[in-house]
């Protein structure tokens, strides 16, 4: 366990070797700044935007995880490119544990930034326990995205292509709010439950059902991805 934790921290330090990746780490702060300053200014100018504030918040919450997912997928694809992944494969640690440990930091950072976003926004007052649960659920999408993009891609160009598709897939359940008749069609996508959770929070309703289903789907999918990743990434 101690070894895995150490690996996770060392892995995170890799980001700081690359100045470009460091700048990407600041992107979520830009999203917070836009929600904190840009959105209220927009609402002041165009009051109709107020009706869409919760949807904008949903998109913004998920984009922080998407950003960390993107950074880590590029790190993982790069190590495939330069054959370092094969070297990791001979380390005396469990492969699944190793992969999971490397996802701890993107998950934690995404969850923290999402929590911060919910605290600084001025449109809703959320219960602290709901905000924590929602942030943890959102945070899971950083590992989900980074693992899925890396799994399907042979190089960075393919990675970018897959990322475009994945980003669309995770955002698409937002459409359900505009066509309530077909909203359930998106329930198979885990982010549907993320958006449902935030919607319930904004309406002051119980979040038990969406959060449980959201965690169930996301953790199940994450387990599958880690398992599949452990079979392919190191060979």
Partner 1 sequence: MKSFITQIRWQFVILYKNNLIAISIAVTAIYALIFYLIKDLPNVEPFLTLLIYIDPAIIGLFFIGLSVIMEHNENVLPALFVTPVSYHHYLLSKIIALSIVGWACASGMTLAILGFDVQWLHFSAGVFFTCIIFSLLGLFVVSFTTEFLSFMLRSIPLMLTFSLPLFNYFGLSDISLFQFSPIQGPLDLTVFSFDTQTEIWPIIWAYLSSIIWIPLLYFVVYRTFVKRIIKAS
Smallest distance from the beta carbon of 20 to partner 1, in angstroms? 3
Closest CA to 145 of 25, 52, 35, 64: 64
Calpha distance 24→80 (Å, rounded): 21
Shortest spacing between CB 178 and partner 1, in angstroms: 6
> CA–CA separation, 108 vs 52, rounded Å?
28
Quote the distance between the C-alpha of residue 116 and its chain's center.
Answer: 15
Q: Is 164 in the site for partner 1 (CB under 8 A)?
A: yes
Q: How far apart are CA 192 and CA 162, in angstroms?
A: 20
Which residue, 24 or 234, has its beta carbon nearer to partner 1?
24
* Per-residue binding letters, 41-80, with partner 1 (x by CB under 8 A): ----x----------------------------x------
Among 20, 129, 180, 188, binds partner 1 (CB under 8 A): 20
Q: How many whole angstroms separate alpha carbon 198 and alpha carbon 53?
A: 11
When the beta carbons of 68 and 126 are compared against partner 1, the nearer one is: 68
Candidates 38, 86, 122, 178: give the one binding partner 1 (CB under 8 A): 178
Q: Is 208 in the site for partner 1 (CB under 8 A)?
A: no
CA distance linking residue 52 with residue 43, whole number of Å:
10
Q: How many residues bind partner 1 (CB under 8 A)?
A: 24
Q: Under the criterion CB under 8 A, does residue 228 sit at the interface with partner 1? A: no
Cα–Cα distances (Å) from 78 to 15, 106, 153, in that order, read: 12, 17, 11
The residue ranges that bind partner 1 (CB under 8 A) are: 18-21, 23-24, 45, 74, 155-158, 160-162, 164-165, 168-169, 172, 175, 178-179, 182
């Amino acid at each position: 366990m101690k070894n895995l934790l150490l690996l996770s921290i060392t892995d995170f330090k890799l980001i700081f070797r690359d100045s470009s990746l460091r700048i990407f780490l600041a992107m979520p702060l830009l999203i917070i700044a836009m929600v904190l300053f840009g959105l209220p200014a927009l609402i002041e100018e165009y009051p109709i935007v107020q009706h869409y504030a919760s949807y904008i918040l949903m998109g913004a919450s998920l984009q922080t995880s998407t950003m960390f997912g993107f950074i880590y997928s590029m790190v993982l694809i790069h190590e495939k490119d330069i054959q370092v992944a094969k070297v990791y494969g001979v380390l005396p640690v469990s492969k699944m544990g190793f992969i999971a440990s490397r996802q701890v930091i993107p998950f934690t950072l995404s969850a923290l930034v999402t929590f911060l976003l919910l605290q600084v926004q001025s449109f809703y007052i959320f219960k602290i326990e709901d905000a924590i649960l929602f942030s943890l659920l959102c945070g899971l999408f950083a590992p989900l995205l980074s693992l899925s993009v890396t799994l399907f891609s042979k190089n960075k160009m393919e990675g970018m292509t897959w990322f475009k598709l994945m980003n669309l897939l995770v955002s698409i359940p937002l459409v359900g709010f505009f066509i309530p008749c077909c909203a359930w069609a998106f329930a198979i996508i885990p982010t549907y439950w993320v958006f449902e959770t935030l919607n319930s929070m904004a309406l002051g309703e119980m979040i038990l059902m969406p959060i449980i289903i959201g965690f169930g789907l996301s953790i199940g999918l994450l387990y599958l991805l880690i398992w599949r990743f452990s079979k392919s990434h190191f060979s």
